Structure 1
Amino acid sequence: MARTRAADYDDKRNAILNRSAALFAAKGIDRAAMSEVARACGVSKALLYHYYASKEALVFDIIHAHLSELDEAIAEADAPDLAPDQRLRALVRRTLEAYRDANDKHKVQLAGVPALPADKAEAIKAIERRIVRRYSDALLAVNPDLNRDRPLLRPVTMSLLGMLNWVYMWFRPDGPISREDYADIAATLVLEGVKAVR
């Protein structure tokens, strides 16, 4: 007979993902043993293995859950019927909001994807490509010339995403600007600059 899933399975799984991400971000994925992960999560090693058969499976789920949530948030925020400038601003604001409290997961993503096997890395890259495509579409609406004479759309898209993806390195909630302020700054820098890119 198949084992039934506990009512609090998803809550426990999410707690494991969050605490594991914090440990991996602080210590490094390679240096954190599954016994340490279990201790950090407040569960037995046996229970941890009930949820995740390996560290690789755990790392994959941290990254996949993080990017899936980001992808869904960006999809909800994307409004092609808005004026192009406003559409891009909405995407930037929603991305930075989705990154709130996700620094550990973001660090695991940056360090963990290269260590995943090809099939799992490809599943992650498929989500990343959807996110990049949504931003590229919005930027192309701002300046259709980005793909006219030279292939500039990708460099501009990746420049904007680079600004957003590395914000966790310097942004402090108690600093001189809010997350919303920075979203406006980043969007303005790109919007004002991208109109001049030829």
Structure 2
Amino acid sequence: MTRERSDNYDDKKDLILRKAAALFASKGYELATMMDVAKACNASKSHLYYYFPAKEDLLYAIVKEHTTMLMSKLSNVHDMKATALERFERFVATFVDVAADSRNEQLVLTSELGFLPPAKHKEMLAMEQQLIDMLIGLLREINPDRMDRVEVETPYALLLFGMIIWTFTWYKKSGAIKPLELASHISDLFLNGFRSSRRG
């Protein structure tokens, strides 16, 4: 395959993934059909099947690409040479920024993962666990006394992830609060609590 043909293939594949993510996010994976996706792409059903033989392949590609990209960005933050607090705040800001820019993909990952076949579902859960482990490490650095029992580590991390992830069922970056400000509020609430003085 020539470079030009490869780029064209990738562009068409990306278009399908974006349109499918929007449909799955708004209509739900179960209700959205491959014909719906084909119409959204202004393409034939056979054209769609050339790229994705089954609807579950399309779902898998959406969540795998989104999670892989998110993991790459968060891993870079996690490995920065900075204090734990600085890396934590950058971690939250990066997560919020990625989710705001890829809201449909984030909603699909949040709500539709259970429709994957068992092996692929297990693979995605393993990737999510890597994100949880990164966050646990940061929280342990920030306050090891609070992370003194292994049974509380995952719940603390999931509380923060829940705060971020479910935000995108209602949040859109076109609103009054921009992603960076939202991330700052999330970090402040999680680390300092609602009754503490708000940072400048």
- TM-score after normalising by structure 2: 0.88
Q: Could you say if the C-alpha distance between residues 125 and 149 of structure 1 is closer, same or farther in structure 2, counting changes exceeding 3 Å?
A: closer
Give the equivalent residue in structure 2 for 1:18: 18
In structure 2, runs of 5+ residues without a counterpart are 194-200
Choose 131-140 or 101-110, whichever is displaced more.
101-110
Query: Using a 3 Å threshold, how does the CA distance of structure 1 residues 150 and 51 change in structure 2: closer, same or farther?
Result: closer
2:196 corresponds to = none
Take 1:128 and 1:149, find their aligned partners in 2: how far apart are those partners? Answer: 21
User: Could you tell me whether the CA contact under 8 Å between 2:107 and 2:168 is conserved in 1?
Assistant: no
2:21–2:62 Cα contact (<8 Å) kept? yes
Residue 174 (structure 1) shift = 4.2
Q: Which residue of 2 aligns with 1:137?
A: 137
Unaligned runs of at least 5 residues, structure 1: 194-198
> Hey, what's the Cα distance between the residues in 1 that align with 2:166 and 2:156?
16
Deviation at 1:83, TM superposition (A): 1.5
Contact 1:96 1:183 (8 Å CA) reproduced: yes
Q: Determine whether 1:27 maps to 2:27.
A: yes
CA pair 82-166 structure 1, distance change in 2 beyond 3 A: same
Return the offset for 1:192.
2.0
1:124, 1:50 → 2: CA distance?
Answer: 24
Partner of 1:38: 38
Counterpart residue number, 2:182: 182
Which deviates the most, 121-130 or 175-184?
175-184
Q: TM-score, normalised by structure 1?
A: 0.89
What per-residue deviation string (whole Å, max 9, x for no partner) do you get for residues 36-59 of structure 1?
111111221111101001001101
1:1-198 alignment to 2 at 5 Å?
4=1, 6-7=5-6, 8-79=8-79, 81-149=81-149, 151-193=151-193
Shift of 1:34: 1.0
Report how many aligned residue pairs link the two structures.
Answer: 190
Answer yes or no: is the 8 Å Cα contact 2:100–2:173 preserved in 1.
Answer: no
| Cα shift at 1:74 | 0.6
Backbone CA RMSD of aligned residues: 1.7
